[in-house]
Structure 1
Amino acid sequence: MTAFMAFQASRVELNASFEKTIPQHHPYIKNYVAHQADLVGLGNAVRIAVANPKGTIYDAAYLESLRRLSEEIFLAPGVNRVQMKSLWTPSTRWVGVTEDGLEGGPVVPDGYDGSARSLQQMEANIARSGEIGQLVALDRRSSVIYVPLLAKDADGQALNYAEFAQRLETLRTKYEQEGVQIHITGFAKIVGDLIEGVRAVLLFFGLAVVIATAFVFWYTRCARSTGLVVAVSLVAVIWQLGMLPTLGYALDPYSILVPFLVFAIGMSHGAQKMNGIMQDVGRGMHKLVAARFTFRRLFLAGLTALVADAVGFAVLLVIDIQAIRELAIAASVGVAMLIFTNLILLPILLSYTGVSAAAASRSLRDEVADTASGEKQKLWAWLDEFTQRRWAAIAVFIAVNLAAAGFIASTHLKIGDLDPGAPELRADSRYNQDVAFLNEAYGASSDVLAVMVKTPEGQCSQYATLNKVDALEWQLRQLDGVESTSTLALLNRRVLTGVNEGNPKWYEFLPNQDMLNMVTAGAPRGLYNDSCSLLTIYVYLRDHKAVTLNRVVELVDQFASVNDTKDVKFLLAAGSAGIDAATNIVVRDAWRQMLFLVYGAVVVLCFVTFRSWRAVMVAILPLVLTSILSEALMVALGIGVKVATLPVIALGVGIGVDYALYILSVTLAQMREGKSLSEGYYHALLFTGKVVMLTGITLAIGVITWVASPIKFQADMGLLLAFMFLWNMLGALILLPALAHFLLKTKAAPAPEAEAFGEATTKFNHA
């Protein structure tokens, strides 16, 4: 099975899809998809700015390089050639007011030959084209090739973003050798850079495996059991990766964390099984009997924990974003594999291999030392203090204050991106430097939000409709974050001025239907569709931060609620910023819903396991504290809640419950035998608590190495996961016994006859 899955895993593709990162069923996206054929340049696109470091764009050598680059991009697979635009495409035109009226044509003049006269004519054409600040930089030192992309190429194959991004880099290298500078932005380039960085993350995954192996071996000093724990955890990863192509899925930059999470969860459970068998062998049991006893003691706690992990992943399916749903499926499959590999296969393998005698004796060192000296080991004795009222009250008091402070900080947690450019990449990355160049050179970002105005066929130029468009446009221009707008109403103002000798007194929106019809007939089709049933309001934004998008969306929604009629509807939203706005709304709505579902499922599973609401509270409250503090940490790190970070918030709950279940299940079992909370908890520390501490620290050290990743998203996730591993560990070791002191009741000791019967049964079972 493992050999087959390893072969399947070799076929896993690392790719991404623009369509999978957007909420397909959100009303904004439905509006966009319904009218996508009528919208020009508002989908997935790349902007390539070609700069002339030696002067302006009115240079023959520069324009020749631009022409050849434009042609190579035009022929690239996946490019929407009809809507591609540059200075050399026929769709880039100029319109001017002359003594004879309005004139126009392509910005590259007929008969262009690179001469001074041709360049002078081209400069005049560009000045009258309205493309300065759009295709041409404000300082005239660069121009843009606008490249809209198709979801599938001519052969019907999904666009391979890694290959497309690599093609762009090859062209960048080729043409920069000719003396121009090239800056590239767009979703395809972000994904390409993420995929390139993900390959480096695989090295960090390997480093985490090495660190985990070293720490487990340091703890056990048994090569065979350490090797089995690591090998079985890696088998689960191989099976999980092998299932992806089998189910028709691929890895993307957002789901690349899943294999490590599967490995981390596997190491946690595997170390518990290994430790239990090692201690039983140290007490003199045969390796087969030790494996059976450990399986019986820990299977229910392990199964509950893994089911909680799986539910934590599966809850992500409620989010209407395909990339997150595929991550949820991949992770749930991986956790399902762990139930077989780490809960069943590992004890079976250890029942054959056993553990070294020296390691088995060493595992009982603390227990033997306690018996010999009559005193508890210092660390375990200190932790046991939290079962007593004084230390328990201090722990609960500190936890309550941390929760209150964390909650106050978490109220500042934002939805969406908090920085310009691509927050997934580092601020000094090539991509974000390119974004900064375009923003400065063109006076606005590439973030465009489009409002669609739906009208009856042939009536998009009606005065009443355009007057409302004009009013909305004026209001949008007053918003902070809106750089400019473009509409058919604004074009009417400009044309009316132009046909009146450029007199600014005519810059007015007149109630003259004949004039409106005349302007509409000659307007670019990007402002309205062929059937004149859809108008487009282009809103050019300074950035795509959540606060900027919220202002625009709220204004348009308010305007639509007042001005929509039976025939005319103002619809959100298209454009890259419109898609971001829809995604932010879906993430905001799913954020709390997801946490409630995760906690609800974990509470139910814990109740089924413990049959006590008090025990459930003891297990859950430390997880709640970790969740609150994790959100506060996100505020401190400047991380917003978005597609990339939403899964990690949910994962902290599922992963953290493992620690609590292993410690609490052993503690409760001891208390049911009549032992005090202190005795039961101390026994749990010696049995499962040591491994909880080991795995918590080991995994935190493993993921903290990710801070060196070239991808900021991976570095941030490394910090968050390390924080969650450590705080869940501390919660299970400190806050759990403190809460147990106040919530759990010690049962009376069994009668002497029952105790004698129990001892006889134990001896019989051992025999």
Structure 2
Amino acid sequence: MGGIKQDQMPVIRDIADFDAQSGNLLERMVFNHRLPFVAGILLVTLLLGYMALTRLELKPSFEKMIPQGHPYIQNFLENRKALRGLGNSVRVVVENTQGDIFDPAYLDALKQVHDELFLSPGVDRAWMKSLWAPGVRWTEVTEQGFQGGPVMPDGYDGSPASIEQLKQNIARAGIVGSLVASDFKSTMLVVPLLDQAAAGGQGVDYHQFSRDLEDKFRLRFEYAGDRQAQASGEEGQGAIKVRVIGFAKLVGDLIDGLLRVMAFFGLAVVTTFFIILAYTRCLRSSLLVIVCSLLAVVWQLGIVAWLGYALDPYSILVPFLIFAIGVSHAAQKMNGIMQDIALGTHRLVAARYTFRRLFLAGVTALLADAVGFAVLMLIDIPVIQDLAITASIGVAVLILTTLLMMPVALSYVGVGKRAAERALRIDTNAAAHKGFGRVWDFLDRFTEKRWALTTVGLAVALGVAGFMVSHNLQIGDLDAGAPELRPESRYNRDNAYITSHYALSSDLFAVMVKTPAEGCLNYQTLIQADRLAWALQQHPSVQATASLANAVRQITAGTYEGNPKFLSLQRNQDVLNYAAQQASVNTPELFNTDCSVMPVIAFLKDHKAQTLDEVAAIAERFAAENSEPDRQFLLAAGSAGIEAATNIVVRDANRTMLFYVYLAVTLFCLVTFRSWRATLVALLPLVLTSVLCEALMVMMGIGVKVATLPVIALGVGIGVDYALYLLSVQLHYQRQGLPLAAAYKQAVFFTGRVVALVGITLAAGVLPWAWSPIKFQADMGILLTFMFLWNMIGALILIPALSYLLLRKVGKPAQSDEPAEAPLAEPAADAAQSVRVESEQRQPARERT
């Protein structure tokens, strides 16, 4: 073969000629004891696989979805017991499609639904509301004083007389628009849920609760005799339709969708296998890449189960990412070993050579990936923190399963002879400017002045345009309904029906008025609460407000024969006390037992980010101006209040997270490259990708929320891998004395195909998410695919262009006193190197330089 360069290692065909004690301590420990190492890996895999199968649960939690450190949430949790029905609840609407609610058959079905829900685990029975709930009452003022009773007559028997009595009670109770639809074709059951479903303290199993809703109600009433609709998920054709919204149902639908999405994981594995096989044309090494990457997934899931963590709709996406990252690094190892074996090197020696060249680069790249995950710990939302922990565990196990196990396994099985010869022919042809060589020659043009300046100019223009568009990026939900699901999903169709048929939505924003015991009956407190309700109601997105002040005003007027002059808050404490006593019977949710906490509730038209921000701003201004030591206005409870707090946390964390991601990646690049200029060359393409990703989110109508917040951090952490492999090799050759064009040509010759393979492999692993029934997963798939591919293009095109501006003078002979470092990517074959040198000598001097 041609002369071996300083950074290349000798070809050793006989293992007896290799010094087994060479290499660093880790290499000797692993490769000199291969069999115990492989046996240990397999044993741990069996153990962790068993733990993943037996202990791992898919168990979401309402508490983990909310930012528990935010003042809004702290106020809510401190007063949660006094605010029944303003936290986690489900709303069930039962519709009569062939008549109205006064049909005895319908009322019998409604009673069955009520009774089943009442006895369901996790239901806060005392605060459940429906026509059949005894706590839903009517009142009226007569000559004898107040009279009242449950809306459902005590002696209801389905007769015309009892039906007529029910009609009167509904009218007197004033529940049309809240519990009864405005067209009298459906009624609503409000079902608050407890923190724990049983005395033992177990949390509510939302997936099982959601399945029970389907099995006990939809299958029993709506899908009766309509199995085709049941199988397709469409609405049934029976007389009764059941519609359900709420956190528990949403999570149940998410889990059902995610279980179907697990088929995408199998699709990603198969797709990746064929991509690797098309690259290598070697069946055994391609299978080995897939197996080692799957080992990382098994280890990650087993460790997560061992530590007591449960998967949720967000962290279940982590195995996809771990598998894709594992494949990308395993492909690097396979490519290096294949090239050495093509030269005639023994497979064990080739494996050790590849370990020496790539282990440090692989660890550095995985650390960058881990940082992309770890910074998510800064977000004060437990579900995101769990995602960060589970993903960091997965990245850590990749060091054993991919960086170590892959070369060790290849040292046993090697690669096919034909595949190795094919790789050598490809490199030889590339050196002769054929095949891939034409691509490398094209990429080399970006180190020339005209191409470099044009490329950088276009990148700057793209960056400026993307930055201008990204200014419109919004925080939170941009659509009505549940944005986690697709608009055509059953849940969102149910939500649209409820919104259009009921005057009061399920989006509740509540401000808690906290006083000493019995303080909420104070005249001044009631006046201030009433003023707050009035201020909130001025916002166009507030449908209505409710508070104890409203109830006291109506009861006071009723006490005086309905005289409108008394439809006000009286200063007489006895009058206020009597009104509160009556309110405790009919509307007990408006204040707690000792009257120290009462909510002022605003019913919102939607939960869009802008609506929540504006309503929260009104409430905050009022609280700041009117709170006193004995009367505090605390934000916020209700589903909309909790979501407003989540939006605030996401907004604050978005830029902070990006700052720390880029800070950590900058430090890694400085340590790896030992050059601030090289660090800029590596980072600027990542910055451009982040800006364009935000612009893409604006154009796709995606807001920054819990589901999409991790995407940009992950894209930066994983995207820097390209620069670490490509730029490290380029700098190595520049420091050996080669000019920029030649050094970059060597870098793309060594790693160009693998960088493209990594980008395509990562994108192929997440692209199938775009067809997920889960909207936020589809959004993540599209965004991650864009970032992976754009980072790859940026590495291959922007790195040489930026290098022309910043790194032309790197690599002077004065640096020759530094110890020669091994390149961080696999060297080309000697034969290919010789052909390339001869070919370059025949080129004009301008092209060679």
Scaled to the shorter chain, the TM-score interval is over 0.9
Asked if 1:493 is matched to 2:553, the reply is yes
Which SS does the other structure have where 2:521 is aligned?
coil
Q: Deviations over 1:359-392 (max 9, x none)?
A: 1222233431244569982211111111111111
Task: Report the equivalent of 2:846.
Answer: none
Distance in 2, Cα, partners of 1:91 & 1:738 = 73
Alignment check: 8 A CA contact 1:455 1:568 kept:
yes
Q: Which residue of 2 aligns with 1:175?
A: 221
- Note if 1:715 corresponds to 2:740: no
Partner in structure 2 of residue 13 of structure 1: 57
Measured in 1, the distance between the counterparts of 2:669 and 2:815 equals 32
Quick check: 281-290 or 615-624, which moved more?
281-290
Task: Indicate conservation of the 8 Å contact 2:325/2:762, yes or no.
Answer: no
1:212 to partner: Cα distance: 0.8
1:367–1:75 distance in 2 versus 1, CA, 3 Å = same
Q: Which residue of 1 aligns with 2:71?
A: 27
Distance 1:146 1:752, change over 3 A: closer
Q: Among 562, 565, 590, which residue is 2:628 paired with?
A: 565
Give yes or no for contact 2:321–2:765 (8 Å, CA) kept in 1: no
User: Could you tell me how far apart the structure 2 residues matched to 1:530 and 1:445 are?
Assistant: 26
Given the alignment of the two structures, is residue 624 of structure 1 paired with residue 687 of structure 2, yes or no?
yes
Separation in structure 2 between the aligned mates of residue 4 and residue 449 of structure 1, nearest angstrom: 48
The answer on whether the counterparts of 2:736 and 2:816 sit within 8 Å (CA) in structure 1 is no
1:65 is matched by which residue type in structure 2?
A: A
Asked whether the equivalents of residues 328 and 761 of structure 2 are also in contact (C-alpha less than 8 Å), the reply is: no
Indicate which of 441, 450, 457 corresponds to 1:397: 457
Aligned mates of 1:376, 1:75 — CA distance in 2: 69
Matched, 1:189 2:233: no
Report whether the alignment pairs 1:642 with 2:702.
Answer: no
Shift of 1:175: 2.0
TM-score by length of 2: 0.87
Q: Tell me, in whole angstroms, the C-alpha distance in 2 between the residues paired with 1:389 and 1:295.
A: 37
In the TM superposition, residue 668 of structure 1 has moved relative to its aligned partner by 1.1
Does the 8 A contact of 1:407 with 1:632 survive in 2? yes
SS in 2 for 1:484: strand
After TM superposition, give the deviation of residue 748 of structure 1 in Å. 5.0
SS at match of 2:176: coil
Deviation at 1:568, TM superposition (A): 0.6
Aligned residue among 736, 739, 749 for 2:799: 736
The residue type equivalent to 1:666 in the other structure is V
One of 527, 530, 534 as aligned partner of 2:590: 527
Deviations 1:531-580, CA, capped at 9 Å, x for gaps: 11112111111111111111111001101111111211000011111111
- How many Å separate the matches in 2 of 1:495 and 1:371? 92
After the TM superposition, which of the residue ranges 430-439 and 441-450 deviates more from structure 2? 441-450
Q: Secondary structure at the match of 1:725?
A: helix
Tell me which stretches of 4 or more aligned residues in structure 1 moved more than 6 Å: 373-376, 751-755
The corresponding residue for 1:549 is 612
Counterparts of 2:795 and 2:811 in 1: how far apart (Å)?
A: 25
Aligned in 2, Cα 1:373/1:44: closer, same or farther, shift over 3 Å?
closer
Supply the distance in 2 between the matched residues of 1:423 and 1:170 (Cα, whole angstroms). Answer: 25
Partner Cα separation in structure 2 for residue 290 and residue 542 of structure 1: 66
Q: Is the 8 A contact 2:100 2:185 kept in 1?
A: yes
Q: Is the contact made by 2:541 and 2:611 (CA closer than 8 Å) also made in structure 1?
A: yes
| Mean CA deviation greater in 363-372 or 31-40 | 363-372
Shift of 1:146: 1.1
Match of 2:126 among 82, 98, 110: 82
> Structure 1 stretch 476-485 or stretch 365-374: which is displaced more?
365-374
The number of residue pairs the alignment matches comes to 760
Pick the aligned partner of 1:306 from 366, 374, 383: 366
2:485 match: secondary structure = coil
Instruction: Specify whether residues 373 and 53 from structure 1 end up closer, same or farther in structure 2 by C-alpha distance, changes over 3 A only.
Output: closer
Matched, 1:601 2:661: no
Q: How does 1:657-672 map to 2 (within 5 A)?
A: 657-672=720-735
Matched letter for residue 696 of structure 1: G
Residue number among 486, 492, 511 corresponding to 1:432 in the alignment: 492
1:616-656 CA-to-partner distances (Å, cap 9, x unmatched) read 11111111111111111111111111111111221011110
Q: Distance in 2 between matches of 1:10 and 1:463?
A: 61
- The answer (yes or no) to whether the contact 2:320–2:765 under 8 Å persists in 1 is no
Measured after TM superposition, the shift of residue 126 of structure 1 is 1.0
Q: Structure 1 residues 393 and 461 mapped into 2: Cα distance closer, same or farther (>3 Å)? A: same
* Structure 2: tracts of 5 or more residues without a match: 1-43, 225-237, 831-849
TM-score using structure 1 length: 0.96
**1:354 has 2:399 as partner:** no
- The equivalent position to 1:242 in structure 2, one of 302, 309, 333, is 302
1:284 aligns with one of 344, 347, 354: 344
**8 Å Cα contact 1:488/1:527 also seen in 2:** yes
Q: CA deviation at 1:752?
A: 14
Q: Distance in 1 between matches of 2:118 and 2:196?
A: 15
**Is 1:158 matched with 2:221?**
no
How far apart, CA to CA, are the structure 1 residues paired with 2:803 and 2:123?
A: 62
State the distance in 2 between where 1:747 and 1:487 align.
72
Partner deviation per Cα, 1:455-487 (whole Å, 9 max, x = no partner): 121121111111111111111111021000101
**8 Å contact from structure 2 (residues 440, 745) kept in 1:** yes
Aligned residue in 1 for 2:113: 69
Q: Does 1:673 align with 2:733?
A: no
- Judged with a 3 Å threshold, the aligned counterparts in structure 2 of structure 1 residues 610 and 371 are, in CA distance, closer, same or farther, namely closer
Do the aligned residues in 2 keep the contact of 1:276 with 1:687 (CA within 8 Å)?
no
C-alpha separation in 2, matches of 1:339 and 1:558: 52
Counterparts of 1:329 and 1:374, CA distance in 2 = 47
| Per-residue deviation, 1:290 | 2.0
- Indicate how the Cα distance of structure 1 residues 685 and 45 shifts in structure 2: closer, same or farther if over 3 A, else same: same
* Partner Cα separation in structure 2 for residue 380 and residue 650 of structure 1: 30
> Contact 1:208–1:699 at 8 Å: present in 2 too?
no
**Which shifted more, 362-371 or 574-583?**
362-371
| C-alpha separation in 2, matches of 1:674 and 1:193 | 61
Q: Give RMSD over aligned pairs.
A: 2.1
Partner in structure 1 of residue 47 of structure 2: 4
Measured in 1, the distance between the counterparts of 2:570 and 2:115 equals 43
Note if contact 2:770-2:777 (Cα within 8 Å) is conserved in structure 1: yes
> What code does the residue aligned with 1:537 have?
V
- Which of 365, 376, 397 is the equivalent residue of 1:337? 397
Note the C-alpha offset of 1:25: 1.6
Matched-pair contact (CA < 8 Å) for 1:674–1:746:
no
CA distance in 1, matches of 2:124, 2:615: 29
- Residue 576 of structure 2: SS of its match in structure 1? helix
The alpha carbon displacement at 1:277 in A equals 1.4
Residue of structure 2 equivalent to 1:388: 448
Of 640, 656, 670, 1:577 maps to 640
Whole-Å separation in 2 of the counterparts to 1:313 and 1:88: 50
Cα deviation, residue 669, structure 1: 1.2
Residues 611 and 331 (structure 1), Cα distance of their counterparts in 2 relative to 1, 3 Å cut? same
